[in-house]
Amino acid sequence: MKFFVDTADVDAIRELNDLGMVDGVTTNPSLILKSGRDIKEVTKEICDMVEGPVSAECVALDYDGMIAEGRELAKIADNIAIKLPLTWAGLKACKTLTGEGNMVNVTLCFSANQALLAAKAGATFISPFIGRLDDLNIDGMELIGDIRTIYDNYGFETQILAASIRSANHMKEAALIGADVATAPPGVIKGMANHVLTDKGLDAFMADWAKTGQKIV
């Protein structure tokens, strides 16, 4: 499973990228706001740092506006994935922009039917939002499984990009179901390394090592 980092914080991206943990980056208007930087400037910096796809989101709601913004965002770098909402206008724009050779990430997906439409429209990525479904007491992972089954049934090449991931457990479940990509905040990815028994074991080893009175270097 590929790891995308869901942030516009270049320092956090750089730390994970240096460890080989970054296969791509996703941003959205909320993350751009949080960064406090110009969208084109920060997106260009991220694209120069990361080899994989970097999602940059259109904010227009109509087809013509999405096409204009998508083409402008695509000029930033060759690894831009234009991010479009799963609306009828977004699907139309997806068809056009992918037809022009661009990567497109169709976002805000909450049903298998929506994911099927996005695949038919040629989306490079479909982003089902797990956490927001969980907030409504709907199993977000069930949606990932439904999309996986549908895409496998018909050989769709659209990649399932599990989004709105809130925990390390979400990452594990997405991997078990077979999501192609999971995008998560840096803290969630780093949190995957944590386990109470690892900490407990390390404390015991350190205590015993101190008793030996030895040094390795």
Instruction: Provide the annotated active-site residues.
Output: 83
Q: Looking at this protein, which amino acid is placed at residue 155?
A: G
End-to-end CA distance of the chain: 38
Q: Bin 199: left if φ > 0, else alpha if -120 < ψ < 50, else beta.
A: alpha
| Distance of alpha carbon 3 from the chain centroid | 7
Hey, is 69 helix, strand or coil? helix
CA distances from 21 to 11, 29, 161 (A): 14, 24, 16
Q: Residue 79 has which token pair? A: 């690894």
State the DSSP code for 191: H
